[in-house]
Amino acid sequence: MIMAQELTNLNPQAIWKYFAQICSIPHPSGHTAMIADYLMEAGKALGLETYRDKADNVIIRKPATPGMENRTTVILQAHYDMVPQANKATNHNFETDPILPRVDGDWVLATDTTLGADNGIGMAAILAVLESKDIVHGPIEALFTRDEETGMYGAKDIEHGILKGKILLNTDSETDGELYMSCAGGLDIEATFRYQEKETAQLADCVAFKVTLGGLLGGHSGIDINLGRLNANKAMFRFLKIAVGCHSARLASYTGGTLRNAIPREAEAVVVIPQVRAKKFLAFVEDFKRTIQHEYGFIEKGIVFGAAETEMPQKLMPEPAQDDLINAIVACHNGVYRMIPDAPEVVETSSNLSIVTANDGVAEVKILARSSSETQKYTLASELESTFSLAGAKVIFDGAYPGWEPNLQSAILNTMRPLYPQVLGREAEVKMMHAGLECGIIGSAYPGLDMISFGPTIKHPHSPEEKVNIPSVENFWRILCATLENIPVEK
């Protein structure tokens, strides 16, 4: 097993050196002060102009190498937060503990947590460019943005007029050999139910069970939304509806999912069952487990589902509120909503039922809708609003961000495409991404930016199975360096 201090044995060493340092610094979304300080210190140590804007974005400027002063200024962009996801049995504090990377064949992955290759490899590559004395390039602006994973807050609040570049290279894509020229926009839908809890002391001859679902793949709610993976919240509320209707179950509390942009991997419900129904209820639990294993076992190899007797809760949801919540979530759309009509292999619009909690008189439901079509995004959001409004919830829209429209006349696209066969011996695939990228937001603040997104191969981002392919990192580095060398002359 190769741990973080040995990553620098991998090629290209310039990237892996910085990635090892990044892994050693806690930087989950919302707790990024240490990594921002690290970036500031790195820029200053290199003797480069280094600035932190009011949104905590870090900008580092590097002058052109001799003879390249007339090239268009390039913005190299990455976000500096990471998704904090760990296997349930793992005792890992993302705010204080380092990530522990290891090598398994051609892959680098973490130990029971997300790796942070999304977007740590992009960060590391940009730092390596800033440090290099050998790479030929024009003027460079490095832009490291805050809290992309939780709402793209750094990009949304970026200072206007601070950037001078006309070309932006986003390093947040996750498949080697692909150039992305557009992405989906997003919108958060939040539904809140409020209710007066009922005392369980009034119930006689009942027993409480904690029902748990876990071991799911989860993954990125944009990139992986079309892969047919099981959403823990949808599965658990499917179970709860039958449990209520057939076994007189009463819901006491619920928690499922942790991040708005990750397909939920785990869920947990506490229910109260009449003692006389307990045996049949446990048989139903086993039957439901077999059902979802049969339906999803080809995709989900590690499904864990079961129920264990637990301490009797003091309070329950009242039956009307319980039924409204369950019915709304069972009816709630989740997954692919529409494919792009003239590119039917690409998801246009989707939703992810990301987080559901119910406790202490409040049930909250959080959904992330994505679409490359603004009209379809709001059409889906309106349907979701109607579903939860009819059930009595208060629904709000928040965190909207625009998509990134494709530009087939892009100069940087036309520069990079021929470099792939020259440098790597194969053609690049030009694609549109269903995930959200900061390009759309930054482009709205800086109209006219010519943008491309690319990166190495990263599998299972936003989950503890996240891993980055080592050979693809070298490919990414070679293309990045060749692109910088061939940036067009400023017009």
Whichever domain contains 297, its CATH number is: 3.30.70.360
Pairing verdict, β 101-104 and 178-183:
unpaired
Would you give the DSSP letter of residue 434? Answer: S
433 and 478 co-located in one domain: yes
pLDDT in tens, 349-361: 999 999 999 999 9
* 98 falls within a domain: yes
331 and 227 co-located in one domain: yes
Residue ending a domain, among 377, 401, 425, is: 401
281 and 295 co-located in one domain: yes
210 and 242 co-located in one domain: yes
CA–CA separation, 199 vs 211, rounded Å?
21
CA–CA separation, 27 vs 323, rounded Å?
40
How large a percentage of the chain has pLDDT more than 70?
Answer: 99
Residue 34 is predicted with a pLDDT of 98
Number of compact structural domains in the chain: 2
* 319 falls within a domain: yes
Residues 6+ apart with CB under 8 A from 302: 215, 216, 217
Q: HSE of 475 in the Cβ direction (CA atoms, 13 Å)? A: 24
CA–CA separation, 459 vs 305, rounded Å?
25
Residue ending a domain, among 401, 433, 455, is: 401
287 and 341 co-located in one domain: yes
Q: Which of 451, 440, 372, 455 is nearest to 413 (CA)?
A: 451
225 and 312 co-located in one domain: yes
* 490 falls within a domain: no
Question: What is the DSSP track for 289-328?
Answer: HHHHHHHHTTT-TT-EEEEEEEPPPSEE--HHHHHHHHHH
Q: Residue 403: which pLDDT band, with cuts at 50, 70 and 90? A: confident
Tell whether the model's pLDDT for residue 20 goes beyond 80. yes
Range of the domain at 105: 4-184+403-485
Residue 423 is predicted with a pLDDT of 97
CA–CA separation, 428 vs 449, rounded Å?
22
Token couple for 322? 């319980």
Residue 468 is predicted with a pLDDT of 98
Tell me the mean pLDDT in the region 328-357.
Answer: 94
Would you give the DSSP letter of residue 200? Answer: G
* 242 falls within a domain: yes
Q: Residue 5: which pLDDT band, with cuts at 50, 70 and 90? A: low
Determine the Cα angle at 340 with ends 336 and 342, to 5°.
Answer: 155
Residue ending a domain, among 401, 435, 457, is: 401
- Which residues are the active-site residues? 81, 148
198 and 337 co-located in one domain: yes
Q: Among 2-11, 49-58, 124-133, 287-296, whose mean pLDDT is lowest? A: 2-11
SS3 340: strand
